[in-house]
Structure 1
Amino acid sequence: MIRFGLRLTMAGGREAVGRLVIIATAVALGVGLLLATLAGINAVDEQNKRYAWFNTGFEDTQPQTGAAPLWWQPSQSYFDGGTIVRFDVAATGPTSPVPPGVDRLPAAGEFYVSPALRDLIARTPADQLGDRFAGRQVGVLGDAALPSPESLIAVVGRTAADLEAAGAKQVTRIGVSDPATCARCVAGNPTDAMALILSVVAGALIFPVLIFIGTATRLTAARREQRFAAMRLVGATPRQVSVIAAVESTAAAAIGTAVGFLVFVALRGPLAAVPFTGVPFYPADLTLTATDALLVAIGVPVAAGVAARLALRRVRVSPLGVTRRVTPRPPRAWRLVPLLAGVGELAWFVGRRPDTSTGQIAAFLPGFLLIMVGLVIAGPWLTLVGARLLARRAHRPATIIATRRLADNPQAAFRAVSGLVLALFVTSVAVGVITTIVANRGPQHSGSLTDTTLSMWTEPDDEAAPAVLAVPGVRSATLVRENPDREGGVMPGVVACADLARAPEYGRCADGATAAYVWSDLVGYREKTGAHTVWPAAPYTAAQVAGLPAMAYVVNTDGSTAAIERARTVLMAAYPDRFRTPATQYDIENDFTRTLAGWQQLANVVILASLPIAGCSLAVSVAAGLSERKRPFALLRLTGVRLRTLRRVVALESAVPLLLVAVVAIGAGFGAAALFLRAQLDYALTAPGAGYYATVVAGLAASLAIIASTLPWLRRVTGPDTARND
């Protein structure tokens, strides 16, 4: 029977080959996206492993016996928005541990750099970057030390005396613990959060593909059922018919699965460049385990075979099952329950957000998936409601016929647009969340005071002021002192009014005051202050302020990269061995900004992938519906119904559920985004920009165009020959 099923699959004419190609294409898309998601999860793990050595001295490990201690001092600095990670080292003996990516420890006056940092130093003036690394470059770090191709890392050799004086620690082993399981580790990716994001992405991509597969499988379903029923009448057993049906779908799924692996290979390079952890991956990180490959290679064809058996269950019951078609029972309002349950599940966690990442995954992911399932379940009932409302105002024949058909079988009508409805939901969630996070935590407006202000959170003195003021582009350098009364709830810093007068862009003192309470960086978070600010008076004389401990240098520049980086290099040279180096607010927030950009790219991937897939599903569904109803439509034409009227019927049958449920999907998307933001981040939803609405309008317009593109086919399939009984 398997060979017979293959013959039917391959020798059924253009119709069979077309169906095979469509199903195989749908499966290939689904498999390629599924493999890409699995590989993305594996890539996060691989990247995390190369972060392990960053956590040297922080992880809970036993000292390595027989190893000479290694002086170890990590620090970070910035350059033009990029983060530079630096490790100063000094060996105490020949057995001191060696970091990955190098064959020996650098001696004092030597350093290794990553390829990206080497290239950056080569194309940048030395007084902006290279002067931060005194000595001679002796090599380049290997890939084993680099979490990403764009990592900016330096391993600098120092003397043991220098590092001991700087407060460095001694270690006897280089960190090897996976940051995902290391409680004290300070570097690495939050894998649980990444798993949540990738799981939502996988669901967002796979749901439209699954609907596409189901739609393609139903293509010419009526004719296939008649063929299988004829086999039953001539003596075929239900088991034999099930095997033949499964062979057709399984063969197409097997071909699609094989092509899907090729799709994944083609996607590896572009996917590796998506920095959804903040930095891109190496393409080699996007790998599949043997278990992943086997589960997909075997599971997808098996699932397709099971789906085929379920789809043709009427034929197995009786050879006359395909003739016993009656109007299905109308959907009931209970179909709203899963949708409302998903909304309620997200609402429950407002004010009850779990503390752990694992708990947050368990809290939010089921809610999103339940809403997606709920939209599919509730769609037929919403379609029925829309059809009944439209029927009350129906006067034209096309509208009456369309509303009657929608009311008779709203499940079939909604099935055609379900993929697009889910795509609109996912798009609304992604845009709503990203827009709100950008509004609350996104990058500052270019040229703002926080972008031009370089703050050094350390213990400086006045000696660096002349040097930094000599840098071209530096406008002022203000020393902020520690406030001895900060426990009383006032601002943490104190500045002399005479010093503040030389930097009027940060505000001024109250009239008659000699000192003022200020923020440590004079600008506050997200530029809450500026030239208009009048700082509260502090009860100190200028002499008393001069005697307070120094807290920070606040350097204002013209905002150019050259001025900021030259000033940063001067301050780093004046105050070496500080873990926190001079930084602008943009530098501090840029790690999150890069991660946010990665999430935005993921959202774009979801939108750009799900909308076309949903459009293909819509086109196949409308075409399949025309094919299955061509004889009734042909009979209507013979009775005098105009072709224009039939085209209106087809357009209304697809457009009504599309537009109606699209409104519900968009509302559900924004509602789910608002609940998630309130529960997870305590943010209120920010309305998206014009780009979102343009995307939605373009998507709906494209969908209506797809429906319209199938209408000319109606003339060809409703001719007089079609009305004859075969």
Structure 2
Amino acid sequence: MSSAVVRQWYRDLAMGVRFTFTGGREGWVRAVLTAVGVGLGVALLLLTAAIPNALATRGAREEARQDMGIGYLENNPTSKPTDRSLLVADTDTEYQQQEIRGRLLEPEGAKAPTPPGLDKFPAPGEMVVSPALADLLKSDSGKLLRERLPYDTVGTIGEAGLIGSGELAYYAGADGLAERLQEPVAYRIDRFGATEQPPAEEMDPVLLLLTLVVFVVLLMPVAVFIATAVRFGGERRDRRLAALRLVGSDGRMTRRIAAGEALAGAVLGLVFGTAFFLAGREVAGSVEVLGVSVFPSYLNPSPGLALLVALAVPAAAVLVTLFALRGVVIEPLGVVRTAKPARRRLWWRLLPPLGGLALLYPMVGQGSENGEFNEYMVTGGVVLLLFGITALLPWVVEAFVARLGSGAVSWQLAVRRLQLSSGSAARMVNGIAVAVAGAIALQMLFAGVESRFTKSTGQDTTRAQMELSLPDDLQVSVAGKEMKRAKGAETTAVLSTAEVSATAKDPEEWGSVTVGDCAALRELARISSCREGDVFILEHPRDPEATKLATAGRTLYFDASFSGEKPGAELAWKLPGGLPKVSERADSLRPGTAGLLATPSALPAKAQTETVFASSVYVRTDPKVPDALDEVRNAAVAIDPLIRTWEWQTTRQADEFADIRTGLLVGATAVLVLIGASLLVSQLEQLRERRKLLSALVAFGTRRRTLGLSVLWQTAIPIALGLALASTVGLTLGAVLLKMTDMPVAVDWPSVLSMTGIGAGIVVLVTALSMPPLVRLMRPEGLRTE
């Protein structure tokens, strides 16, 4: 390109920019509408560009406060206190389905490390809490939690010690932890932060595919909205450009001037978008979405991505404007677009979706066994399929409305308007159609591969709802009695397990013994007759070796010693003469248990006080008690703050899969907000362009109700066609993605209907919000002109 051509482009674009800001009220209104539409998209793009930094910062904060990381040589019960050592106890808990991170701290020396976010250690009986936890404790809904945390709040955890503004966390002072060192409950450290990183695991190819598709699906509607926003007020702009032909400009120069106007709106949109992003970033610090929160400082886009957005948006505005004007003839006496437009051609509109299918087809059947999916082919294929909606929808709308006939006056007004400007109607719907199609495909993909990343826990939530893990030094009998009296506990079962050996020294054969009263043992096995002092053999077909040591009259040993250890801790246990055999319950609290079952009095007297048992309490909550789970947790903490509580679940999802799904839902929430806001701006822009027409119709006696219904029809018809096309493309894309993961194709119809319903609901809401401006525009004053 020669320097003269460059100068000509520069002059024409600069003239378009001047027209934008010196063209009077009309130019300013159009520029502001364009800037708002582009700005909303830019804000979401900047937010997306900030996500990598936010995730990295959250990860760094989590790692910096790590107190059980790899590489802590002092992190074991046999370590010795030093002037740099700190005793830590893990007291994580849950409250009303919210996770709470808790730690008890006891410094052993003057140089003990303080956790990130703390200036000093809280004294015993005091605690330092996160801002979100402080608010919860002060609220009426935090009554039960205040009972569980009987400490005086003396400070707030700083931002450096939290991974999000909504995180619930506390550090409390303690004493006497040195006598209770036992992993993973209480341990000794001399620093925070992991000193060694575990080896990075390769990401499952299916999860990588999910991540790629999520990003494409969330960003495509944003790109469509920006492309639509730069065309706001296109018809009025083209009529103004006709005046330029009268003063000597040719067609190419006129198009470049129009591109300059779009460029000005896009640059102004960058300013608006930056302001929206900065305002949204501050709001993000006080908002929690699906359990995920961040601090405003986390949301800093990387300079490279921010520069890419700053360059791509204006360039896209210029290209979109030039592309849109390719079929418009701007003559000195008017714009040759007011006549009936030529019928749109279908053949080239089929090329993008067919090209997308061609890119994805080679990876069909690959699954996760044949290496990673080609990320460029995946991205390109999904983009082309979704872009195909924006190419096909104008043709679909035009072909459909051309066949619509007579009806009520409101219907005829709407149909005629759509027949004359089906392109404008399709552009308004493009974004939501792309979003719905992508959401349907993702829902199908998530539903199809969910079973791959969801495992059964073997826990029957109809038998118990909570499990309490007891510290080794806690008297099991005391904990069992207290928990039976706990509010919210309908029934409890206390079970303890230890290992026994065939010899007192250097044993080679081991077995297990599970101890509990008769009621607790019946939760594991079918026992017809049981009295205190009985011992049973529980056989398991998949583990025949487990009962090898269970022979009547045989002597077994607890706490066997090995060569080099101090002998004398062994405790002999002679089995009774009769050992009835029992079978496992199909709904056992501990599936797979095998070996010996014993009642407490059947063991040697010293076994219950000198032998270390792994003990758990299984709780069936009382459905009549409100907040029964939290009542049980409160009772457990009252017995011993080191008791860990676990709510039972029938299934558990892989963390990576759950994180991707959470990220999708958070991103989809942001995109839905953008959809609603952009649709509203687009609707207002179209009403503004038709202001004189609406005022003229009212002046000639047309009822406002009729005009309102016509606007509703003008929105409803393209939306219905767009959602139908989106459902077709979404189902096709979802089926292809499932075939790529080597999973059977199944349509998740509830998700399809819900996504379509959400899209339709947004349009109804936007239409309702546009009614008040419509009423104002239908006044006779709208006939005034400048």
TM-score normalized by structure 2? 0.64
* Residue 260 in structure 1 maps to residue 280 in structure 2: no
| Aligned match of 2:32 | 21
CA displacement 1:111-138 (0-9 Å, x = unmatched): 5443444565677999966787798766
SS in 1 for 2:492: strand
SS in 2 for 1:300: helix
Amino acid at match of 1:558: D
CA 1:481–1:370 in structure 2 vs 1: closer, same or farther (change >3 Å)? farther
Kept after mapping to 1: 8 A contact 2:87/2:187: yes
Amino acid at match of 2:220: G
SS in 1 for 2:487: coil
Q: Distance in 2 between matches of 1:342 and 1:80?
A: 46
Q: Which of residues 64, 72, 97 in structure 1 aligns to 2:113? A: 97
Provide the aligned C-alpha RMSD in A: 6.3
> 1:23: Cα distance to partner?
1.9
The structure whose residues are more often helix, as a share, is 1
Kept after mapping to 1: 8 A contact 2:58/2:163: yes
| Aligned match of 1:659 | 720
Amino acid at match of 1:583: E
| Aligned match of 1:419 | 431
| Aligned match of 1:146 | 162
| Aligned match of 1:162 | 179
Task: Report which stretch shifted further, 159-168 or 309-318.
Answer: 309-318
SS in 2 for 1:154: strand
* Residue 610 in structure 1 maps to residue 675 in structure 2: yes
* Residue 555 in structure 1 maps to residue 619 in structure 2: yes
Amino acid at match of 2:647: A
| Aligned match of 2:390 | 376
SS in 2 for 1:20: helix
Kept after mapping to 2: 8 A contact 1:428/1:666: yes
> 1:376: Cα distance to partner?
1.2
Kept after mapping to 2: 8 A contact 1:515/1:537: no
| Aligned match of 2:559 | none
Kept after mapping to 2: 8 A contact 1:277/1:595: no
SS in 2 for 1:219: helix
> 1:145: Cα distance to partner?
0.5
* Residue 50 in structure 1 maps to residue 50 in structure 2: no
Note the 1:341-420 alignment, pairs <5 A. Answer: 342=356, 352-354=366-368, 366=380, 368-383=382-397, 386=400, 390=403, 414-415=426-427, 417-420=429-432
Task: Report which stretch shifted further, 536-545 or 364-373.
Answer: 536-545
Amino acid at match of 1:162: E
Amino acid at match of 1:215: R
CA 1:625–1:350 in structure 2 vs 1: closer, same or farther (change >3 Å)? farther
| Aligned match of 1:527 | none
| Aligned match of 2:45 | 34
> 1:468: Cα distance to partner?
0.9
CA 1:12–1:52 in structure 2 vs 1: closer, same or farther (change >3 Å)? same
Q: Distance in 1 between matches of 2:471 and 2:584?
A: 18
Q: Distance in 2 between matches of 1:313 and 1:60?
A: 65
Q: Distance in 2 between matches of 1:94 and 1:274?
A: 39
* Residue 175 in structure 1 maps to residue 193 in structure 2: yes
Note the 1:531-680 alignment, pairs <5 A. Answer: 552-559=616-623, 560=625, 563-571=628-636, 581-585=645-649, 600=665, 602-614=667-679, 616-617=681-682, 620=685, 658-670=719-731, 672=733, 679=741
Q: Distance in 2 between matches of 1:647 and 1:581?
A: 59
SS in 1 for 2:618: strand
Structure 2: gaps of 5 or more residues: 1-10, 75-81, 455-459, 500-511, 531-580, 608-612, 698-705
CA 1:449–1:687 in structure 2 vs 1: closer, same or farther (change >3 Å)? same
Note the 1:220-369 alignment, pairs <5 A. Answer: 220-232=236-248, 241=254, 244-276=257-289, 278-288=291-301, 295-297=308-310, 299-312=312-325, 330-333=344-347, 335-340=349-354, 342=356, 352-354=366-368, 366=380, 368-369=382-383
Q: Which has the larger radius of gyration?
A: 2
SS in 1 for 2:481: helix
> 1:419: Cα distance to partner?
3.4
> 1:663: Cα distance to partner?
0.7
Q: Distance in 1 between matches of 2:684 and 2:135?
A: 50
> 1:102: Cα distance to partner?
2.0
CA 1:423–1:126 in structure 2 vs 1: closer, same or farther (change >3 Å)? closer
CA displacement 1:488-543 (0-9 Å, x = unmatched): xxxx99898941699xxx8994878985535898399xxxxxxxxxxx99897766
Task: Report which stretch shifted further, 649-658 or 27-36.
Answer: 649-658
> 1:466: Cα distance to partner?
0.9
CA displacement 1:189-225 (0-9 Å, x = unmatched): x999889756643433x13422431431623243244
Kept after mapping to 2: 8 A contact 1:495/1:516: no
CA displacement 1:254-311 (0-9 Å, x = unmatched): 3333233332233234434443473322234334455565554565345434544555
> 1:171: Cα distance to partner?
4.5
| Aligned match of 1:473 | 488
CA 1:404–1:517 in structure 2 vs 1: closer, same or farther (change >3 Å)? same
CA 1:85–1:193 in structure 2 vs 1: closer, same or farther (change >3 Å)? farther
Q: Distance in 1 between matches of 2:245 and 2:597?
A: 100
> 1:465: Cα distance to partner?
1.3
Amino acid at match of 2:267: A
CA displacement 1:667-721 (0-9 Å, x = unmatched): 33355457667949988625149866654554565788879998999999xx9xx
Q: Distance in 2 between matches of 1:394 and 1:621?
A: 24
Kept after mapping to 2: 8 A contact 1:343/1:367: yes
SS in 1 for 2:584: strand
Amino acid at match of 2:589: L
SS in 2 for 1:331: coil
Note the 1:177-192 alignment, pairs <5 A. Answer: 183=200
Amino acid at match of 1:142: G
Amino acid at match of 2:313: V
| Aligned match of 1:464 | 479
Task: Report which stretch shifted further, 279-288 or 681-690.
Answer: 681-690
Kept after mapping to 1: 8 A contact 2:117/2:159: yes
Q: Distance in 1 between matches of 2:287 and 2:215?
A: 13
| Aligned match of 2:97 | 81
Kept after mapping to 2: 8 A contact 1:127/1:566: no
TM-score normalized by structure 1? 0.68
> 1:363: Cα distance to partner?
7.9
SS in 2 for 1:554: strand
> 1:159: Cα distance to partner?
5.5
Identity %: 23
SS in 2 for 1:148: coil
* Residue 216 in structure 1 maps to residue 232 in structure 2: yes
Structure 1: gaps of 5 or more residues: 443-447, 485-491, 525-535, 635-644
> 1:435: Cα distance to partner?
9.1
> 1:52: Cα distance to partner?
1.7
Q: Distance in 2 between matches of 1:354 and 1:38?
A: 28
> 1:79: Cα distance to partner?
3.0
Kept after mapping to 2: 8 A contact 1:208/1:423: no
CA 1:659–1:51 in structure 2 vs 1: closer, same or farther (change >3 Å)? same
Q: Distance in 2 between matches of 1:598 and 1:255?
A: 30
> 1:568: Cα distance to partner?
3.0
Q: Distance in 2 between matches of 1:607 and 1:207?
A: 14
Kept after mapping to 2: 8 A contact 1:52/1:178: no
CA 1:410–1:297 in structure 2 vs 1: closer, same or farther (change >3 Å)? closer
Kept after mapping to 2: 8 A contact 1:70/1:97: yes
| Aligned match of 1:445 | none
CA 1:253–1:588 in structure 2 vs 1: closer, same or farther (change >3 Å)? same
